[in-house]
Amino acid sequence: MRVACIGECMVELVEHPDGSLTRAFGGDTLNTALYLARLGVAVDYVTALGDDPWSDAMVEAWAREGIGLQAVARLPGRVPGLYVIRTDAAGERSFHYWRETSAARDLFAASEAAAARAALARYDLAYLSGISLSLYGDTGRATLFEALNTLRKGGGRVAFDMNYRPRGWLDAAQARAAVETAMATADLIFASREDLTGLYSGNGVDALLRHRGRAEIVLRETRAGVAHARVFHGDDEAMIPAEPVASVIDTTAAGDSFAAGYLAARLAGRTPVAAAGIGHQLAGVVIRHRGAVIPKDAMREFQA
């Protein structure tokens, strides 16, 4: 069983109070791929990078984590996207992006489309997000959906995490159209209340549950300050709360790591309810540490 995680990894710069910068790498589906690899799942990252030193550093880091590189396209003369994180006096973080011409946006462009389609056909499961969809434009998204449908016709499955970020879209209507096509294509859908509210202004749960029975659905929401996963599988429905986390340091990648824990558990044959509990456990470990990618040693705190 081999998984393809589709999306973009960017250069991350964190600005400190003295004006100095710390470099890292970040991306939602990359975070999920990394945690899948740490959980023992065979996973490749499907993206496009440049031929620059930062792209080289990315693939070297992914290889050290055990992420497969066979579906990484390298585009001459191109570079990855970049974002800067600033933190104000009150501790509020802001993100500033330079990604309009990143190499990842051309993964499903005409010159690369045939190779990308062929690569995806080899996988047992493809995982992508709303952020992934926002990269490619209408023509690229059409090519991506063709590739995903081919994968499914060959017996593979598709997992889609809604992960809606308005910044990546012309407007909510464009995002809704793409997301609804992705939901109709997916066998497993992850969503959150925040995603649905942003896309549908309060009517999103009905839109999501139109896929109930056809697809497995995991809706993340917070009730009375506690994270819950509402899982729909066939005719069954269950609400699984997370164990409270006493010392939350950084919620970055909480959803990405939850998805990794859930997917790893389902691929191992665990039930949806058990998988939601494992997703909560992994996310609970991740949010007790700073940054999207926690130290490998910290993974010892995770007990599946």
Q: Would you name the residues annotated as active-site residues? A: 256
Q: How is residue 69 written in tokens?
A: 């590189």
- Rounded CA-CA distance 36/231 in Å is 20
Neighbours of 207 (CB within 10 A): 16
Specify whether the CB–CB gap between 204 and 245 falls below 8 A. no
Going 260 to 175 to 184 to 136, the CA torsion angle's sign is: negative
Strands (E), 181-288: 188-192, 216-223, 226-233, 236-241
DSSP 9: -
Angle (nearest 5°) at CA 7 between 276 and 231 = 20
Specify whether the CB–CB gap between 142 and 170 falls below 8 A. no
Q: How is residue 161 written in tokens?
A: 């995490």
- Rounded CA-CA distance 229/140 in Å is 32
- Rounded CA-CA distance 52/79 in Å is 6
Question: Which has the closest alpha carbon to 86: 96, 76, 77, 78?
Answer: 96
